[in-house]
Structure 1
Amino acid sequence: MASAYLAASGSAYFLPHTLVLLGGSGALAFVAQRAFAVRGRGVRVTGVCVRHTFAKDGVAVIVRYEAASGEKFTCLSRPQAVACARIGEPVDVVYDPRRPKNAEVPPIGYGMPFMFSALALLLGVPGLGMLYWIVGG
Structure 2
Amino acid sequence: MTVAIILVATLMLFIPVWILIALELIPRRRRARLKRVGIRASGRCVSISWIDNAAVAAIEYATPDGRKFTHHTNPSYVSPFTKGGAAVIVYDPRNPRNARVADWLDGEPGSRFATWVLVALEGIFLIPQAWWIYILLSGGFDL
Query: TM bucket by the smaller chain?
Result: 0.5 to 0.7
- 1:33, CA displacement in angstroms? 0.9
The answer (yes or no) to whether the contact 1:48–1:63 under 8 Å persists in 2 is yes
Report percent identity of matched pairs: 20
Instruction: Give the TM-score normalised by the residue count of structure 1.
Output: 0.58
List per-residue Cα deviations over 1:63-110 (Å, max 9, x = no partner).
1112345432211246474653433x5432111223322212242252
- 1:47, CA displacement in angstroms? 2.0
Q: Which amino acid aligns with 1:97?
A: P
Residue equivalent to 2:140? none
Pairwise CA RMSD:
3.8
Task: Quickly say closer, same or farther: Cα 1:32–1:109, change in 2 above 3 A.
Answer: closer
Higher relative contact order (CA 8 A, sep 6+): 1
Deviates more, 1:91-100 or 1:78-87: 78-87
- Are residue 27 (structure 1) and residue 27 (structure 2) matched? no
Structure 2 residue runs of 5 or longer lacking an equivalent are: 134-143
Task: Quickly say closer, same or farther: Cα 1:43–1:80, change in 2 above 3 A.
Answer: farther
The answer (yes or no) to whether the contact 1:32–1:117 under 8 Å persists in 2 is no
Q: Which amino acid aligns with 2:81?
A: C
- Runs of 4+ in structure 1 deviating by more than 4 angstroms, as ranges, are 80-83, 114-123
Instruction: Give the TM-score normalised by the residue count of structure 2.
Output: 0.56
List per-residue Cα deviations over 1:42-79 (Å, max 9, x = no partner).
2111123221222525x443111123454322112464
Q: Partner of 2:104: helix, strand, or coil? A: coil
Task: Quickly say closer, same or farther: Cα 1:23–1:83, change in 2 above 3 A.
Answer: closer
Q: Which amino acid aligns with 2:28?
A: A
Which of 99, 103, 120 is the matching residue for 2:99?
A: 103
Residue equivalent to 1:11? 6
Task: Quickly say closer, same or farther: Cα 1:16–1:45, change in 2 above 3 A.
Answer: same
- State the alpha-carbon separation in 2 of the partners of residues 49 and 104 from structure 1: 13
Q: Which amino acid aligns with 2:83?
A: R
- 1:117, CA displacement in angstroms? 8.3
